[in-house]
Structure 1
Amino acid sequence: MRATSRRLEDVARGGARSWRTHTTRTCNLHSRPSSIRPYTSTSRTRPKTALFFPGQGVQRVGMIDPWLESFPNTVKPLLEEIDHTLNISPSLTHLISQGTNAELTATQNAQPAIMATSILILRVLEKEFGFDTKNTVDVTLGHSLGEFAALVAAGNLQFASALKMHTSLSAAEPVLWHQSIQYLHQEEKVKRWIGIGPGKVGRNLVGKEVGMKGVDVKGGGVLALTDPKDLDEFLRALEITGNAGEEEGDV
């Protein structure tokens, strides 16, 4: 998987042409939705794929609760890791789950909360449904602070390190998000965009830039996973778009 090991500003300026490689049923959200079958793809080829993460502003109190209720075996250990790593009071997971809107909106809380929730959703997708990030995704990127989650997803930054960096240094420097999307769409020919994390702002921004929404009839599209209730539709869309490369000849 090629990843954001270089600043996205370089990509947007064209200075970096490559990155280092290093029938389902409705589920009950209050228990593990075992009726949802794992993500599978029989295609040997697939469209070039980008995995993107949201920035500040998508946080909301309770955003981790549906994931914990549905996938406790995967989510609970990750929440414990978050609190053990940060060792703050009140804990970050408490603020996300039960804090006030004012507390969670504070930059020092919102940024690590969004990053942690985004990676939590990705880990559920990987461990519960067999999503292979390394072999499914070509490039990762993030909107503003979403860069941290992108680096973690790519394997270029440890999750614990990203948590600590968020609490000590806010993402103050804006990245050239729109130019990066345009470059990947026009020059790198990315056809499938997968958004992971709370809120749908990132999906809407990407969709606007590339002129697609949902699964595109020509293959690829802009997909997003923000809540467990979206899993059924999301996994079906992954399978449909995963076979698009066979017709287009993409690798």
Structure 2
Amino acid sequence: MVAPRHRGRLGGFIDAFEENFIALLMALMVIMTFVNVVLRYGFSSSIFWAPEMVEYFFAWLVLFGMSYAVKITAHLGVDAVTARLPDRSQRIMALLAAAVCIIYAFLLLKGAWDYWAPFANLPQTEGRWFPLGLNENTRQNGWYETEFVPMPDVLRFLEPWLLLPEDPPFQYVPRVLPYVILPFGAALLLYRLIQATVAIVLGTSSGLIVSHEAEELVDEAAEKIAREERN
């Protein structure tokens, strides 16, 4: 069973945004890599900041895509044991798995915020496992830049927020921008897992993971062999 898509104009917009954004990231990665290969081997030149951008795009693709895969139940799962249980037991196991995933996503969100916050000149959270407040003594690292990605003038409005008056202007893009996917992706994952858990409780979904790619490939191979034998 595939999770139902959102209904209405807003839901359709959200679906389209997620799918198009993922497609855009993949397209940008391919284009930038292809152009750099052509420049390097055809013209002995290159876009020196392209490899770093591709790394950031790949990180965005992974962290944004993991929550999208939860929404459409595209993650692969092993249910060799749970599939043999009664329906009620399968639902209980699915809820237990969902609870573990939610706890994991919550801890991931805390860690992601605590890593990203200093680059945004924001306080980290106190507490080792669960946030117990905000740490006002967090060191501000908003001045940290990427390695090679040049700073476009359109982003200069960020400098008063991230830099002190005596700091020089950014030469490269501040790390707060590419790193923002960490808390955003973790928060979106937590949100999607809660959504999926509610669907299990309401009975509109049988679990978090319902894709069985291996079984489908085996079935396709068996059908192909059967067709060849008949011919």
* TM, length-normalised to structure 2: 0.26
* TM, length-normalised to structure 1: 0.24
Higher helix share goes to which structure? 2
